[in-house]
Amino acid sequence: MKTTKLIYPLVLALAATLATTGCKHKPVGITKLPGQNAPQVGEPTPTTLPPGTPVNTEEKPPGGIPLAEAGLFDGMTPDRAALAAYTIHFAYDRSDIRSSEKPNLAQVAQALSSDPSAKLLIEGNCDERGTEEYNRSLGERRALAAREALAKLGVDPMRIETRSFGKDQPADPGHDESAWSKNRRDDFVLLHPKSGV
Amino acid sequence: MKSTTSTILCCILVALFGFCAFSQNEEPIPIPKTWGGPGLEKPTPVSLEGFSGEVLEVLKFDLYVQGFSFVTPDAAQYLISGSNAGNVQGRVTDRFSKSSLLARSYTGASLRREAHAFADDIVLVTRHDKGIALTKIAFKDELPNGEGEIYVADFDGHNPQAVTRDGAIVAAPAWVPGRLALYYTSYKLGNPDIFYHDLTTGRRQAIARYSGLNSSAAVSPDGARVAMILSKGGSPNVYVCNADGSGLKKLTSTSEDSSPCWSPDGQWVCFATKIDARRRLAKVPAGGGEVRVVNTIGVSNPTEPDWSPDGKWIAFTSQMSEFDVCVVPAGGGDATILVRGEDPSWAPNSRTLICARRSASYRYVLSLLDAPTKQFKDVARVSGSDSQPAWAR
38-77 in chain A: CB under 8 A from chain B? 38, 40-44, 46, 48-53, 55-57, 59-63, 65, 67, 69-70, 73
Residue A129 neighbours by CB distance under 10 Å:
16
In words, the CATH class of domain A87-186 is alpha beta
Q: Does A7 touch chain B (CB under 8 A)?
A: yes
Residue by residue, DSSP assigns A64-130 as: S---HHHHHTTTPEEESSTTGGG-EE--TT--SPPGGGHHHHHHHHHHHHT-TT-EEEEEE---SSS
Report the greatest alpha carbon distance in chain B. 102
In tens, the pLDDT along B74-101 reads 999 999 999 999 999 999 999 999 999 9
Chain B's closest residue to A11, CA to CA, is B13
Q: Quote the ipTM score.
A: 0.86
Under an 8 A CB cutoff, do B258 and A57 touch?
no
Q: Closest by alpha carbon to A157, among A170, A144, A168, A169?
A: A144
CA pair distance A172, A178, nearest whole angstrom? 9
How confident is the model at residue A3, as a pLDDT? 54
Q: Is pLDDT at A73 greater than 60 in this prediction? A: yes
In words, the CATH class of domain B44-127 is alpha beta
In tens, the pLDDT along A117-167 reads 999 999 999 999 989 999 999 999 999 999 999 999 999 888 999 999 999
Q: Does B254 touch chain A (CB under 8 A)?
A: no
Q: Is pLDDT at B303 greater than 70 in this prediction? A: yes
Under an 8 A CB cutoff, do B107 and A40 touch?
yes
Residue A91 neighbours by CB distance under 10 Å:
10
Question: What is the average pLDDT score of chain A?
Answer: 78
Under an 8 A CB cutoff, do A164 and B200 touch?
no
Burial of B316 (C-beta count, 10 Å sphere; 0-12/13-18/19+): buried
Query: Nearest Cβ partner of B103 from A7, A33, A161?
Result: A33
Residue A43 neighbours by CB distance under 10 Å:
11
Query: Nearest Cβ partner of B113 from A7, A38, A43?
Result: A43
Angstrom CA distances, B171 to B164, B168, B268, stand at 11, 10, 23
Nearest Cα of chain B lies from the Cα of A97 at a distance, in angstroms, of 15
How confident is the model at residue A63, as a pLDDT? 24
CA pair distance B340, B370, nearest whole angstrom? 13
Q: Which residues of B326-347 are buried (b: 16+ CB within 10 A; e: fewer)?
A: bbbbbebeebbbbbebbbbbbb
| Percent of residues, chain B, with pLDDT higher than 90 | 85
CA pair distance B258, A94, nearest whole angstrom? 15
Averaged pLDDT for residues B150-177: 96
Q: Is pLDDT at B23 greater than 50 in this prediction? A: no
**A49-53, B40-44, B274-278, B376-380 — which is least confidently predicted?**
A49-53
How confident is the model at residue B12, as a pLDDT? 61
What band does B360 get if pLDDT is binned at 50, 70 and 90?
A: confident
Under an 8 A CB cutoff, do B171 and A32 touch?
no
In tens, the pLDDT along B143-153 reads 988 899 999 99
**Which helix or strand (DSSP H or E) is residue B141 part of?**
strand B136-142
Contact A120, A160 (CB under 8 A): yes
Contact B116, B133 (CB under 8 A): yes
Chain A's closest residue to B198, CA to CA, is A52
Residue B134 neighbours by CB distance under 10 Å:
16
For chain A, the residue count is 197
**A49-58, B117-126, B258-267 — which is least confidently predicted?**
A49-58
How confident is the model at residue A13, as a pLDDT? 59
Alpha carbons within 13 A on the beta-carbon side of A167: 21
In tens, the pLDDT along B52-79 reads 999 999 999 999 999 999 999 999 999 9
Residues in chain A within 8 Å Cβ distance of B211: 67, 69-70, 73, 161-162
How confident is the model at residue B21, as a pLDDT? 44
Residue by residue, DSSP assigns B207-233 as: EE--SS-EEEEEE-TTSSEEEEEE-TT
How confident is the model at residue B255, as a pLDDT? 83
Residues in chain B within 8 Å Cβ distance of A14: 13, 16-17
Under an 8 A CB cutoff, do B107 and A38 touch?
yes
Query: Nearest Cβ partner of B197 from A52, A136, A163?
Result: A52
Give the single-character DSSP code of A154.
T
**Which helix or strand (DSSP H or E) is residue B274 part of?**
strand B268-275
What band does A65 get if pLDDT is binned at 50, 70 and 90?
A: very low
Q: Closest by alpha carbon to A69, among B253, B230, B247?
A: B230
Alpha carbon B49 to chain centroid, angstroms: 28
Q: Is pLDDT at B220 greater than 70 in this prediction? A: yes
Q: Does A3 touch chain B (CB under 8 A)?
A: yes
Indicate if the alpha-carbon torsion angle B304, B308, B314, B317 is positive or negative.
negative
pTM: 0.84
CA pair distance B336, B327, nearest whole angstrom? 5
For residue B195, the cross-strand partners are: B184, B206
Nearest Cα of chain B lies from the Cα of A147 at a distance, in angstroms, of 10
Under an 8 A CB cutoff, do A27 and B100 touch?
yes
Residues in chain A within 8 Å Cβ distance of B17: 14
Q: Which CATH superfamily is B136-391 part of?
A: TolB, C-terminal domain (2.120.10.30)
Q: Does B387 touch chain A (CB under 8 A)?
A: yes
Question: What is the average pLDDT score of chain B?
Answer: 92
How confident is the model at residue B37, as a pLDDT? 78
Chain B's closest residue to A46, CA to CA, is B200
What band does B178 get if pLDDT is binned at 50, 70 and 90?
A: very high
Which strands, in side-by-side order, build the sheet including B313-319? B302-307, B313-319, B323-329, B336-340
**A20-34, A80-94, B86-100 — which is least confidently predicted?**
A20-34
How confident is the model at residue A72, as a pLDDT? 72
Nearest Cα of chain B lies from the Cα of A25 at a distance, in angstroms, of 6
What band does A185 get if pLDDT is binned at 50, 70 and 90?
A: very high
Q: Is pLDDT at B239 greater than 70 in this prediction? A: yes
Pairwise pLDDT comparison (B279 vs A39), residue with the higher score: B279
**Domain coordinates in residue numbering, chain B:** 44-127, 136-391
How confident is the model at residue A19, as a pLDDT? 52
**A65-79, A141-155, B7-21 — which is least confidently predicted?**
B7-21
Terminal C-alpha separation, chain A: 120
Q: Does B98 touch chain A (CB under 8 A)?
A: yes
How confident is the model at residue B321, as a pLDDT? 87
Q: Is pLDDT at A25 greater than 50 in this prediction? A: no
